Amino acid sequence: MQALWHRFLNIWKTHEDMSGRFVRASFIAVAERFITKGLQFVRTIILARLLFPEDLGLFGLAALSLGLIEVFLQSGFSAALIHEKGNVEKYMHTAWTVQVLRNTLVGSIVFFTAPVFANFFSHPEITPLIQVLALAFFIDGFVNIGAVLFQKELRYNLRFIYNLSFVVTEIIVVIVAAYYLRSPWALVYGVLANRISSVCFSYVLHPFRPHFELDMQVVRHLFHYGKWVSIAAIVSFLIVQGDNLFIGRMLGAEQLGYYQPAYALALIPVAEFGRVLGGALFPKFASMNASSMEMKQSFLRVMRLVFSFTAPLCIGLYVLSSEFVPLVYGERWLPMVPIVSVLALYCLVKTYESVTQAFFLGVGVPQVQTHATVFQCVILMSVMGPSVMFFGVTGAAYAVLLSGCVALAYLVWSTKRFLGLRLSELGAILLPIAGSVSGMYGVLLLITQTYHLSHGSMLFLSIGCGAFTYLTLLFLFDSVSGEHLQSDIQWIKQHI
């Protein structure tokens, strides 16, 4: 036991050996992601009991207003510093200066145009919320640019402490403020606390001390790489926030207040497992020969393992959303149920993307993911308006699902073409998982339609029986097909 404890403590130390750093960085990055998201999920549950959907929606509209300006003025300099080879200190003073100037410009534009955004969304009460968020964004510009080096130098122990410090600060402030204020101002004060603590801890944890310096040669050099990051960020913003924009404009704050927590809940499985595992395997994909059989087998291994985890969670949430939402969030959040059900299917679609994103970036073909993102964006923007008009907030979820299916079709075609992958090979790895999930789905339907229990009793009974059914069927299918999942797990252990 003592040896295990020492090994655990050793993970959090900074090592000079780069290979040791990479292994520890992978572990800490995963730990940070799960702890942070776990804390934020608990925060959401508590806020759901203290605030109303309209409160969350009003804050969502204010944050969306800031995002609309901020995303079009991104510099991408932080990503450029991480990508830059060698010593980057000669670039950092200029990068920090541009960061301060950019945030000052964006903050000023948003502050003075707040009434315009409030009028656009037909909610004049969000004007002061937007203006305080603009102040928080201005403060964020003074964050020590040296904090970027935590990731570049794989010092994820310090990055973990840094990120967790302002997340915990925000959660504490938000919960206390929500308890006393019972208004969207609690969320705004939380963001303000987050940005102030972020600035303070960035100087405590990193010794670099920036000063104002504007070297136009450095600006041009960093912008050469950063512009592509900025373009990708704009497209991603339209996909992630496009639905919120339509809902906020056409349906108002209350419906947006239902939609945003539903989206966050439904996307948890793919966001917290698929992307983390895919990101951890990025260097493995990057080291392979593009024409090797090993690459195809590795891709199929990761795909099988990720789907075996996310598929039962997505389908389980699809069936049990009517039990889960009122138990965890409260009865007043019941309108979330149909939205969660549709977006749970979207989560299943996104699972494939979570693997292909790391894969295509690793093998040096990032344009495939960019093309898929653009296709999804075009479809989403085309169908979102009519969907919301005719089917309300649930229509927005269907539009997201449809656009995701288009991106999925393109990614499957691209994978097939790049790897020489036959659809029968892809079907062979997914068939045992599909059979196990189908059995679980049948059991869950039988339980929910046969028994009439409280939300809590029904949920725990369904989860227990569903998990037992899925794992039993998966073990049987895997044993018959040659124990592929067991060998996949061993392979993952060797390469992370």
Per DSSP, the chain holds a count of helices (H) and strands (E) of: 20, 0
Question: Exposed, middle or buried, 485 (CB in 10 Å: 0-12/13-18/19+)?
Answer: buried
Per the CB < 8 A criterion, the answer to whether 242 and 384 are in contact is yes
Q: How confident is the model at residue 495 (pLDDT cuts 50, 70, 90)?
A: low
- Separation of alpha carbons 29 and 153, rounded Å: 13
Q: How confident is the model at residue 289, as a pLDDT? A: 56
Please report where in the chains the tokens 């020489």 appear, as a residue.
420
Contacts with 49 (C-beta within 8 Å, 6 or more apart), sequence order: 329, 330
The torsion defined by the Cα of 272, 395, 437 and 459, in degrees rounded to 10, comes to 80
227 token code pair = 């512009």
Map tokens 């300099």 to a residue: 77
Rounded to an integer, the average pLDDT of 32-53 is 88
Answer whether 281's CB lies under 8 Å from 302's CB. Answer: yes
Report the pLDDT value the prediction gives residue 440, as an integer from 0 to 100: 95
Instruction: Please give the average per-residue pLDDT across 116-141, as a whole number.
Output: 93
Band the pLDDT of 9: cuts 50, 70, 90: very low
Selection from 97-106, 188-197, 362-371, 373-382 with the highest mean pLDDT = 188-197
Q: What is the pLDDT of residue 288?
A: 56
Section 103-122 average pLDDT:
93
342 neighbors 392 (Cβ within 8 angstroms): no
| Per-chain mean pLDDT for the chain | 83
Question: Given pLDDT bands bounded at 50, 70 and 90, which one contains residue 54?
Answer: very high
Q: With DSSP H G I counted as helix, E B as strand and the rest as coil, what are the percentages for the chain, rounded to 5?
A: 85, 0, 15
Answer whether residue 171 shows pLDDT above 70: yes
Question: How large is the greatest C-alpha to C-alpha distance in the chain, in angstroms?
Answer: 71
Between 60 and 25, where is the model more confident?
60
- pLDDT of res. 298: 77
Q: How confident is the model at residue 19 (pLDDT cuts 50, 70, 90)?
A: very low
- Per-residue pLDDT at 207 exceeds 80: yes
Q: Find the range with the poorest average confidence among 77-91, 95-109, 418-432.
A: 77-91
256-297: pLDDT as tens digits = 999 999 998 988 876 666 666 655 555 555 555 555 676 777
How far is residue 70's CA from residue 394's CA, in Å, rounded to a whole number?
A: 28
Least confident of 43-57, 336-350, 407-421: 407-421
What is the rounded distance in angstroms from the CA atom of residue 262 to the CA atom of residue 398? 13
Percent of the chain with pLDDT over 70: 80
Highest mean pLDDT among 75-89, 93-107, 169-183, 216-230: 169-183
* The predicted structure's pLDDT at residue 315: 94
Residue 25 has pLDDT above 70, yes or no: no
Q: What is this structure's pTM? A: 0.84
Percent share of the chain, pLDDT over 90: 41
Please determine, for residue 206, whether its predicted confidence score (pLDDT) is greater than 60: yes
**Residue with the larger pLDDT of the pair 283 and 251:** 251
User: What distances in angstroms separate CA 375 from CA 346, 381, 404, 410, 476, one per listed residue?
Assistant: 16, 10, 9, 9, 39
pLDDT value at residue 11:
47
Predicted local confidence at residue 396, as pLDDT:
95
Q: Which is nearest to 375 in space by CA: 235, 494, 249, 473?
A: 235
- Range among 18-32, 83-97, 267-281, 371-385 rated most confident: 371-385
pLDDT in tens, 290-336: 556 767 777 888 888 888 888 999 999 999 999 899 988 989 999 99
pLDDT for the residue numbered 18: 45
Mean pLDDT computed over 129-136: 94
**What is the distance of C-alpha 132 from the center of its chain?**
25
